[in-house]
Amino acid sequence: MKTRDAVLTYQKSEADTAVETIDLNFKDPISAIELEVECTNGSGGNKDNWISDIVTKIEVVDGSNVLAALNMFGLETLHWLKTLASPGLYLSEWASDQTRHNATLFFGRHLWDTLYALDPTVYSNPQLKITFNKAAVRAASTTAFATGTNIMLTVVVKLMEGMSPPAQYLMDKQIDSFTSAATGEKRVDLPRDYDYRMLLLRAYQAGYETNESISNVKLTCDTDGYILLDRKTRQLDTEARGLFGMSTFRHHLYRANNQVAKALHNKGYNVSVAPWSGATTHILGITAASSNQFNMEIHDHDGSVVSSEHNYAMMCTGHALHATLPIIFGTLDDPGSWFSPKPYGKFEAVLTQATASTLVEIIAEQVRPNAKA
């Protein structure tokens, strides 16, 4: 086998709201697709507004046949879980600065997996579709992403030459999204078509940990005829930390005293913040931290409060990236240990809701044949 990179676009300009469609007309198996998106901040800074927010959908399709589908939050989380390395997220809130996110959609257990890869020759018209919405958090302005055509997209396809195409690939697909209620169970029907390697549960609300929004997770077949698991989310999250470890990111903050800042991690994070040029006399402290946000206390050396925004550099290490809980089936590298729902008439996730207004998203990673629908 030989490997090669095919650069399909490099820093291609995208409109504020757009769907970029790119043909995947290759003769060789595709191991992965690397995406990089960057954008320019407004002249007054751009707080808590990330590339992850404005890339709202990433799909691989063959006409109406959806071969993969998730958003940027899911892609970045899966990159970390599959590589045990932080994706290339260069976050910046600084005025007029560039912010850039790089993450990879893997069709196998890892890059250059010869057993699992997407075979584009099987499909009639395989395409990559990427949906942008620059105003997902705030409309373009001086205090958001800057106005003008400044979203830039880079796409690199990782190809494997000189090998027989694999019969199957790993399909990452968001299967549900809803807003939680304050109490009660939410039952989600899960597909029974293909074997499961992993299930991702994202439960995001500013100021809340994942387990504070969804307290229990149960996976059940045939209405409790067979229960795969019935666990506290808090315990599952702790196990995930032991399995996947921590990730670390650098984040350029633009803040004044007693302002709340947002972190990428939802659990167990450690924050180190240093003053940057123009703020080197400032003394910084963290006065409160809860789930994915924390308060910064900033004073000058003379004790006066810093009431205007300045540039600071933060290093943050933690887990539960983007408030996401991974649930794995068996051993990640052993297909024989993955879960097959086919013998059952019904497969459900039963989620115990504990906080209202939380965004809950479920992504399944399944083994799918390289075949037309």
Buried-exposed string 150-172: b where 16+ CB fall within 10 A, e elsewhere: bbbbbbbbbbbeeeebbebbbbb
Compute the distance between CA of residue 116 and CA of residue 73 in angstroms, rounded to an integer. Answer: 23
184 pLDDT above the threshold of 80: yes
- Residue range 111-142, pLDDT digits in tens: 999 999 999 999 999 999 999 999 999 999 99
What is each CA distance from 219 to 105, 222, 280, 324, in whole angstroms? 26, 10, 52, 17
User: How many Cα atoms occupy the beta-carbon half-sphere of 333 within 13 Å?
Assistant: 5
pTM: 0.96
pLDDT digits (tens, 9 = 90+) for 90-119: 999 999 999 999 999 999 999 999 999 999
Evaluate if residue 305 carries a pLDDT over 90: yes
pLDDT for position 38: 98
Is the pLDDT at 291 greater than 90? The verdict is no
Cα(13)–Cα(24) distance, rounded to whole angstroms? Answer: 20
Read off the pLDDT of each residue in 212-224 and give the average, rounded to a whole number.
97
Closest CA to 239 of 326, 152, 304: 326
Alpha helices (H) along the chain = 51-54, 72-83, 210-213, 233-244
pLDDT of residue 290: 73
pLDDT tens digits for range 245-268? 999 999 999 999 999 998 899 987
pLDDT of the residue at 372 = 85
Q: Residue 326: is its pLDDT beyond 80? A: yes
Q: How far apart are CA 96 and CA 159, in angstroms?
A: 36
Q: Which residue type occupies 305?
A: V
Asked whether 25 and 120 are in contact (CB, 8 A), the reply is yes
Quick one: three-class SS letters along 336-357?
Answer: HHCECCCCCCCEEEEEEECCCC
Secondary structure of residue 203 in the 3-state scheme:
strand
Average pLDDT of the segment spanning 193-215: 96
Comparing 158-167, 254-263, 270-279, 362-371, the range with the smallest average pLDDT is 270-279
Report all structural domains of the chain as residue ranges with CATH numbers, in order of start: 2-166 (2.70.9.20), 171-373 (2.60.120.730)
Q: Which residue has better confidence, 292 or 225?
A: 225
% of the chain exceeding 90 in pLDDT: 93
Average pLDDT of every residue of the chain: 96
Cα distances from 360 to residues 1, 20, 92, 214, in angstroms, run 41, 26, 26, 9
287 has pLDDT over 90: no
For residues 25 and 40, the answer to whether their CB atoms sit within 8 Å is: no
pLDDT over 80 at 73, yes or no: yes
